[in-house]
């Protein structure tokens, strides 16, 4: 773990998890792997912090969990987006796009 990495801004982890799950049901480790690879290993997400976030999202009803068999035939807990979760992902992604665009604009102008 020597490569320079960025800490996540507060609250964005939820958004990233929702996005990772938007392609289909995944278990926790796969979500972690996915985020790590897709971000080109620039985001530093402590693996341990993933689970409280997953449980929080489950409690809010944005994702549901189900135990199933994994690819190597072990029992794993799969998370899946719910309808509300999908809607939430849309709203938050839009909000994020607006925010970053605005911030980028300001940085360019000033």
Partner 1 sequence: MLSDRLREAASDLRYRFRALVHRDAMEHELDDELRFHIDREAAKLSRAGAPPDLALRQARLAFGGLDRAKEASRDARGVSFVETTLQDLTVAIRGLRRQPAFLLATVATLALGIGANTAMFSVVNSVLLKPLAYHDPDRLVVVWPGHGAAKAVYQQFQAQCHSCEQLEGVQGAWPMSLTGAGAPQRLLVSQATTGLFDLLGAHALLGRTFHPGEQVPGHDRVAVLSYALWAGRFGADSGIIGRPITLDGVQRTVIGVMDPGFAALPRNTELYVPATMNSADYADYWWVSSLSLYARLRPGVTAAAAQAEFMGIVDRVRPTFSHRMPDAWGKDLIVAPMQEAVVSRARPTLVLLVGAVALVLLVACVNVANLVVGRTANREHELALRTALGAAPSRLVRQLLTESMLLGVLGGVAGVALAAVGLRALVAVLPANTPRIGEIRVDGRVLVFTATLAILTGVAFGLLPALGAVRASLRDALGAAGRTAGGAMARRRASELLVVAQIALAVILVTASGLVIKSFLRLQDVDPGFHPEHVIAAEVPLPSFTADSVPREKVFYASVLDHARTVPGVSGAAVALVVPLGGAESDGVMDLESRPVQPGESRTNLQMNTVSADYFSVMGIPVLRGRPFTDADRDGAPLVAIVDATAAKTLWPNAEALGQRIKYVYLKDTWITVVGVVGAIKYDSLSGGEQPSVYLPIGQSTYAETMNLVLRSTADAGTEAARIRAAVAAVNPDVPVGQVRRLTDIVGDTALARRSVMLLLSMFAAVALLLGAVGIYGVVAYAVTRRTREIGVRLALGAVASDIVRMVAGESSRLVAGGVAIGLAGAFAATRLLSRFLFGVAPHDPWVFAIVPIVLALTAVLASVMPTARAVRVDPVEAIRSEG
Question: Footprint of partner 1 on this chain (CB under 8 A)?
Answer: 1, 27-29, 32-33, 46-49, 51-53, 55-56, 58-61, 67, 70, 72, 74-77, 84, 87
What is the Cα–Cα distance from 23 to 79, expressed in whole angstroms? Answer: 11
Minimum distance, C-beta of residue 89 to partner 1, in the bound complex (Å): 13
Nearer to partner 1, 19 or 63 (CB): 63
Between 67 and 110, CB nearer to partner 1: 67
DSSP letter at 68 equals: E
Q: CA distances (Å), 85 to each of 89, 92, 93, in order?
A: 6, 10, 12
């Amino acid at each position: 773990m020597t490569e320079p990495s960025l800490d996540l801004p507060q609250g964005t982890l939820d958004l990233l998890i929702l996005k990772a799950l938007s392609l289909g049901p995944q278990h926790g480790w796969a979500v972690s792997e996915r985020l790590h690879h897709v971000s080109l290993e620039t985001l530093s997400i402590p693996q341990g912090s993933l689970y409280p976030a997953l449980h929080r999202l489950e409690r809010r009803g944005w994702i549901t969990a189900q135990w199933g068999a994994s690819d190597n035939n072990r029992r794993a807990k799969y998370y899946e987006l719910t309808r509300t979760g999908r809607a939430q992902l849309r709203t938050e992604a839009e909000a994020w796009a607006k925010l970053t665009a605005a911030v980028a604009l300001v940085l360019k102008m000033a």
